[in-house]
Chain A
């Protein structure tokens, strides 16, 4: 035990001596969370700039224009007089959508001839496109209900009869877990877990490669300390810092990005511990088998985007090519991202997380074995050779 703590102490000393490493381990995770969180903090895309082309200029068309103006999701810009102007404004990015109310709009509605309102929107960004479509549909549905009620009242129907005709079947929809459809609630927990994954694994991956750079790794391999103690000693400071960052980032999300972290604290702690064990151990394993710090730095920091994309956290796995889904299932991040969504966002209990916890536990065991079992008699390919130009 004393050997492990000794190694851990000197590892921690190394971390604090190297300013960049200290920043990476203690500051960068929170910095990333703050920078990315600040982009998503408002979470809902309101006041979408739209233009309305009113070719009818009737009372009913003005009512529809007012409906759009009163909708908080839209911000109506005046002065869009024609479809051509609308198209130019949307193409050049000044507007996100446009509504075109045709000529004879009011007349056609009053005479029950039917008419069409065109809602054209910029679909080059699908996040805003789906928002626009959903909200515009709601505005027009409301107008339809009003017009239909007026027509039926004109036919001499009583209020009760009108209600039973229009509301023959009424719909109520409830959005669970994210009632305001807040984008930050959707995406930020996954981003936090990716930050922990990247920084946690990367910093652990420097633990042995740093020794190789200084030619001091041979001191460890030549010592009577068994590999598993070297692994534990060198990884311990990173276990602690990674778990600290995990808790810190969840707290930050809850305090500053207004994401309600629900669910059992014990479950969150368990998930965090398993995840931190996995990323730290895999980082150590990579470190043992890499030549130098430069190699690790170059490759590891590129992992975040592909791992995030294949995880199914945003684009569902059911819609991916099967082989991608299979690869994703072998990645710890996939399970942790899903686990944090189930536990922290949906607030679900252990019975829903059994599979996730089992898989993460298995991955933890495998990663610990990978980290703890290495040969100290390996061919020393890390001894300095004639260096290539880019090796410092």
Chain B
């Protein structure tokens, strides 16, 4: 029996390899995507948000204000418009994301203790920029405002350190856990490449039943007397081995070359990935069993695979989605995989946390394979 399994699996692997398109899709598309995505997130951290500063005052105090903006790591002053209309044009054209207006009489009002207002305009159309920009502006505002307040208190005879603690008594210390440098490349690149990988696996798995039963060689295979269960089991082994062979270079490149941090052991991650590979293969097999031809099987497989990453909650959190969407998302193996992947790579919680994910994926695999067998039996 082992020899039969091996023979069918080897045949299957050979067929995948000989099909140039399938070979490219399964073994090269994901790794090329990973390399491309690392090039996209080349900068990794968003610093130096393009900023325009409009100084309508031109006094030493306003220049000091300008200096504190220029010293902010998160902001990069690129333009100095001369009037408000020009500033608006700069924001509208996208030449700067943040516009800061220092009003007329700023220096005089600050010196005389009358108070002055700085306007910050932020382009909110790109939230990756906007969220960073708001935090940066708040930090600059808080720091500069406190510095001026300290000077006022010193002039009233308060000791410097007392004045400082009076105005900034509570220091905000933020500690990002699990991704301390707030690195976008670590957050998104490998996950996106795995998204492409699971799409490629879905395409391959969608040939499992219909690719065989829909072809002319099926009659010969039936004539061999090999049980259908053994035959498709062996084919599936080859597919899943192919999926794992395709994902290993992704992990080696991400963790080994690009130094994406990995909290759990590689073995644990590979095991979890294997469970998902089986699950996604089972889903592809079910689609394959239900469709009348390979083309439709691939189409339907991709209809499911394409939105699954968005619904998985890996980027836009599941908790932020409506309840009915959260429940629907749980029917996709991709949701459990990407949630579990995030836990493993960044946090490495104990097995008891990961168990539900593994059991659900294994349960889905069993259900999808059972349904596939039933559908294939009816077809046969």
Report which A residues bind B (CB closer than 8 A).
20, 24, 28, 32, 35-36, 38-42, 44-49, 87, 90-93, 108-109, 112-131, 133-134, 136-138, 140-141, 143-144, 147-148, 151-152, 155, 161, 163-179, 181, 183, 185-187, 191, 198, 293-295, 297-299, 301-302, 304-306, 309-310, 314-316, 318-321, 323-324, 341-342, 345-346, 348, 352, 388-390, 392
Contacts and interface: CB of A to CB of B under 8 A. Distances in A.
21 contacts: A32-B307, A36-B310, A38-B324, A42-B322, A93-B343, A114-B171, A125-B342, A133-B174, A140-B170, A169-B115, A171-B141, A174-B119, A183-B316, A186-B126, A187-B127, A294-B21, A298-B22, A298-B25, A389-B215, A389-B217, A390-B211
B169 A114 contact: yes
A116 B171 contact: yes
Interface of B: 15, 18-19, 21-22, 25, 29, 33, 36-37, 39-43, 46, 50, 65, 91-94, 106, 110, 113-132, 134-135, 137-139, 141-142, 144-145, 148-149, 152-153, 158, 162, 164-180, 182, 184, 187-188, 192, 195-196, 199-200, 203, 207, 210-211, 214-215, 217, 293-296, 298-299, 302-303, 306-307, 309-311, 314-317, 319-322, 324-325, 329, 339, 342-343, 345-347, 349, 353
B149 A175 contact: no
Given A152-B166, A321-B42, A168 B149 contact: yes
Contact of B152 (A114, A136, A143, A168): A168
B15 A147 contact: no
Nearest to B347: A91
Contacts of B126: 186, 314, 316
B169 A109 contact: yes
Contact of A320 (B39, B137, B296): B39
A345 B125 contact: yes
A127 B317 contact: yes
Given A117-B173, A302-B200, A309-B36, A315 B184 contact: yes
Contacts of A301: 199, 203, 298-299, 302, 306
Given A125-B187, A125-B315, A177-B124, A309 B164 contact: no
Given A141-B142, A392-B215, A186 B125 contact: yes
A315 B128 contact: yes
Contacts of A392: 210, 214-215, 293-295
A92 B342 CA distance: 11
A48 B182 CA distance: 18
Nearest to B162: A112
A257 B228 CA distance: 48
A93 B353 contact: yes
B187 A126 contact: yes
A91 B144 CA distance: 36
B333 to A, nearest CB: 16
Contacts of A144: 142, 167-170
B174 A121 contact: yes
Nearest to A143: B170
A166 B315 contact: no
Contacts of A90: 177
A34 to B, nearest CB: 10
A112 B120 contact: no
A297 B172 CA distance: 53
Contact of A122 (B93, B130, B177, B310): B177
Nearest to A117: B170
A319 B46 contact: yes
Nearest to B115: A167
Given A124-B342, A134-B131, A305 B33 contact: yes
B302 to A, nearest CB: 4
Contacts of B180: 123
Nearest to B18: A388
Contacts of B339: 93
A147 B169 CA distance: 8
Contact of A172 (B117, B135, B173, B319): B117
Contact of B199 (A47, A134, A138, A302): A302
Nearest to B312: A39
Contacts of B114: 164
A316 to B, nearest CB: 7
A183 B319 CA distance: 14
B149 A309 contact: no
B314 to A, nearest CB: 8
Contacts of B345: 124
Nearest to A97: B177
A266 B295 CA distance: 39
Contact of B40 (A41, A123, A324): A324
B117 A171 contact: yes
